[in-house]
Amino acid sequence: MAVNFKVIKQDLKSRARLGILETPHGFLETPAFMPVGTQATVKTLTPDEIIAVGGRLVLCNTYHLYLRPGQEIIKKAGGLHRFMNWNGPILTDSGGFQVFSLAALRRVGDEGVLFRSHIDGSEHFFSPEAAMDVQQALDSDIAMAFDECVAYPCTFEQAKAAVERTGKWAKRCQESHCKEDQAVFCIVQGSVYPELRKRSAEELTRLEFPGYGIGGLSVGEPKEIMYDILDQCIPLIPWNKPRYLMGVGSPDCLLEGVERGIDMFDCVLPTRMARNGSVFTSRGKLVVRNACCADDHNPLEPGCQCYSCQNFSRAYIRHLIKAGEVLGIRLTTIHNLHFILSLMAEIRASITNGCFEEYKNNFLQLYHSPFN
């Protein structure tokens, strides 16, 4: 098999667990967060800097790389690892979510999706087979099956049609995929309808994929609904397979997801926040752009060991951001990814030590307290 997953410890008070995911380009300790490198780069950072903040597996996007520079160029370079000089594991999203987000520029049918490029308006067709072909050319360690993600809110019938299509497309992805050193994970859909989530999970687990994504959440629904769906969905996924909650990356959601048995997460939130001049702290979000930081010579997070906090003040980083200097968003990006990846390391340590529940409660109590 291209990947091997092993649960090494189960929390006694929740579904939280420790695991090891082995891939052709190294292993990943879980629960883990994957920095997003949509265009074959985690925005503003070099591969060495990603490693320095704790990154081990990065996510790249099939849709964007298909459009630019094209999979043939990447294939000629020797695959994504050589193209972007990243020696660790890579997971590629199938492009299903990006096609979903195009809305007015796409037309979905049973054979696939006809869409117009957001770059130049050119017309393209993505089928399950095409999604597999592109990802095999990209040579990622883990490829995601092509799925249909629906918006929130949506009707039961819309969600049902997407579940049926996703199941059929997953089987077609499985049948067309032939790259032995690349694993394919499928994606459970069903929106906020428990019976559809159950149907999707049961159909997909019968196909015995090596890993299972949970898609169609964090698309606008209240967090309480997302948590409820996870509570009902997770027990339906095989215990010995990695569970990947797609598009979730805020500290509170990471903790809630781990508690429910999620092993892998990804999200653009840490890097997007950074580019907008905001950072994570133990007391919640700090908007560095705001005037309160203009004469604040403390680090972004007192006690933080990241490069940004060890060397620069809030006042200096705010100055860079207000002046439009690229270094400003590089420093906020370094901090945000360090914060999230350190959080995941602390979560793993708390499971190891048998105190995950205490760690979660203490973290969230401080995180939701008034900011000083």
Catalytic positions: 93, 266
Residue 81 in 3-state DSSP? Answer: helix
Residue 254 C-alpha from the chain's centroid: 11
Tokens 């994606």, residue located: 187
Residue 326 C-alpha from the chain's centroid: 25
Distances (CA, A) of 369 to 203, 273, 283, 360: 43, 20, 6, 14
Which residues, at least 6 apart from 212, have a Cβ–Cβ distance to it below 8 Å?
185, 186, 187, 188, 201, 204, 205, 237, 238, 241, 242, 243, 244
Distances (CA, A) of 142 to 102, 129, 234: 24, 16, 21
Indicate the pairing of strand 4-10 with strand 17-23.
antiparallel
Residue 108 in 3-state DSSP? Answer: strand
The DSSP symbol for 371 reads P
Helical (H) or strand (E) element with 225:
helix 223-233
